[in-house]
Amino acid sequence: MTDQNREIIITESGMRADKAISAALPELSRSAVQNLIVGGHVFWDGKPVAKSAKLPLGSVLVVEIPPARPLDVRPENIPLDIVYEDGDLLVVNKPKGMVVHPAAGNYDGTLVNALLHHCGDSLSGINGVIRPGIVHRIDKDTSGLLIVAKNDTAHRHLAEQIKAHSFTREYRAVVYGRIREDGTVDAPIARHPQDRKRMAVQQSPSARDAVTHYFVTQNFTGFTQLRLRLETGRTHQIRVHMAYIGHPVAGDPVYGPKKVITSLHGQCLHAGLIGFIHPRTGAYMEFEAPLPPYFTDFLRTLRPEE
């Protein structure tokens, strides 16, 4: 067995191959496990195994982990909605549907590809070649503002503000149900124990503190429009917290109801305001992005409560 291979012993009779691998190698996504099996990289008794194969107790699976494919992150001439730019940073209004940085399945067409074309070599290198300039991120189907650092000094200053919770981030959202009063969700978040693509509220050693403040903007029949302010910035934080209190974000295919509002093409969530202390001048700066058309079009389909 090479350093890139793994041996997995089946500890439960009749366990499926894909489930056994996911349980033993949680660092692999479900799609990565499926691709390994379909690609003939998983063996049982010397032969490739099917993902649905039910294995006897004590069986040994050999999983070949192919060498990581080196990423060639290329500049692409993709239009950017730049709200502000100077020699140290940019504030970009990201459209819904754009991935922030390259990853498996999204090597092109990302915000990073566009930034490399726009900025050339003038991006911070703290987060490596895959995420140059990226100080924080928002989900693919979340629209709105994020900040990009052009040098390492600016990156460090901005990252410190995020860590100290002095970095202002406000979102706009439409959620299911009627919320009567403003409130706060203070509930720790960690990776979901069964589904590695999801996050969940958990009381576990790996969970990290997460705090979301929400403010009612308008009530509609069956929905509420909110303004939300992040005190922390965990993965999927708003989506997880709102689902946790019984008010998932409209259109959310991961944390929302099974019957998804497909016309939204993802969650109705917009990073509408960002504020920070400029790393060079020390001045506080704040920027706001108006609600995008997909959001306002959805609001027009809702009936206000009287």
Task: Place 69 in a pLDDT band, splitting at 50, 70 and 90.
Answer: low
Average pLDDT of span 47-59:
86
Model confidence at 242: pLDDT above 90 = yes
Q: For position 148, what pLDDT does the model report?
A: 96
Q: For position 149, what pLDDT does the model report?
A: 96
Q: What rounded mean pLDDT belongs to the chain?
A: 90
Residue positions annotated with a catalytic role: 139
Task: Place 104 in a pLDDT band, splitting at 50, 70 and 90.
Answer: low
Name the fold adopted by 69-164: Pseudouridine synthase (3.30.2350)
Average pLDDT of span 232-245:
96
CATH H superfamily, domain 5-64:
RNA-binding S4 domain (3.10.290.10)
Q: Where are the domains of the chain?
A: 5-64, 69-164, 165-306
Candidates 131, 151, 133, 148; CA nearest to 90 is: 148
Name the fold adopted by 165-306: Pseudouridine synthase (3.30.2350)
Model confidence at 171: pLDDT above 90 = yes
252 phi and psi, to 5 degrees? -70, 115
- Identify the residue with better confidence: 230 or 41: 230
Average pLDDT of span 258-284:
97
Q: What is the 3-state secondary structure (H, E, C) of 97-126?
A: CCCCCCECCECCCCHHHHHHHHHCCCCCCC
Examine domains 69-164 and 165-306 and report if their fold is the same.
yes
Model confidence at 2: pLDDT above 50 = no
